[in-house]
Amino acid sequence: MKVVDGLESLRSAPGVLEIIVRSGVRCEEYNKHVGGAVHSQHVLGKAADIIVPGMEPMDIYNLAVKVPGFHGFGVAPHQGFIHVDVRDVPARWMYDADSKECPWQS
């Protein structure tokens, strides 16, 4: 599955009128400049950092986890976006490690 296919599925979810892609495919130089992971899914063209106007990041996450093919999720509650990707193995993280808003953190 391509990340754009997952975004299209998410766009058809109830309450989602539009999706704003803050970051999509990145070259290695730009990825390094923004502090992206060394083996970033963005560099591979498999990721997007997104905002859904009118929705909180955890609400977007709760919809995105239902999209078949999305396996990577990063939630940034204080920055207002989530990361989604189509990597092969599941991965989940918070950009704000102190957040109590994330359901998979203890």
Mean pLDDT, contiguous 10-residue spans, the chain (106 residues)? 95 94 95 91 97 96 96 95 97 77 48
* 70: alpha, beta or left? (left if phi > 0; alpha if psi -120 to 50): beta
- The answer as to whether 103 is a domain residue is no
**3-class state of residue 5 by DSSP:** helix
**Containing domain of residue 68, as a range?**
3-94
- The answer as to whether 78 is a domain residue is yes
Predicted pLDDT of residue 99: 52
- The answer as to whether 33 is a domain residue is yes
CATH number, domain containing residue 36: 3.30.1380.10
Number of structural domains found in the chain: 1
Rounded-to-integer distance, Cα 85 and Cα 4, Å: 10
Q: What is the pTM of this model?
A: 0.88
- The answer as to whether 101 is a domain residue is no
DSSP conformation class of 86: -
